[in-house]
Amino acid sequence: MSSTQGSLSTGMGSAQVSRQQVFALVRDALATVLERDPETITPATTLAELAADSLALVEVAEIVEGQLAERTGRRLHIPDTDLEAFRTVGDAAEYVVRNGGVVGDGATAAWIG
């Protein structure tokens, strides 16, 4: 992707993460924790369909937080109370994008820190 639209960036020359990459990261973390084929998980897949309980979601959050820190050099913490609000995989991915510091109209996301 040559554009920074829909990406998370530290603004300090670190790697950028696109919205699609955030979804893939969340999807792959869920697939690992729940032992599912990642290709069967879409943004519309509900966490109930995946039988993702609160412990599994905490594990997924830790994986996502760690991977984002590794890729961008910035930390994002997803509180357990926020995990309870996720209904779909897309909800979780959008939370990461939004709380990672989406700036302006949402077309461009940048880490704020």
Protein fold of 14-100? 1.10.1200
Convert the pLDDT of each residue in 37-92 to its tens digit: 999 999 999 999 999 999 999 999 999 999 988 887 778 899 999 999 999 999 99
Per-residue pLDDT at 82: 94
The average confidence (pLDDT) of the chain is 79
Q: What is the mean pLDDT of residues 1-28?
A: 63
What is the share, in percent, of the chain residues with pLDDT greater than 70?
A: 73
State the pTM of this model: 0.77
What would the DSSP string read from start to end of 7-70?
Answer: EE--SSSPPPEEHHHHHHHHHHHHHHHHT--GGG--TT-BTTTTT--HHHHHHHHHHHHHHHHH
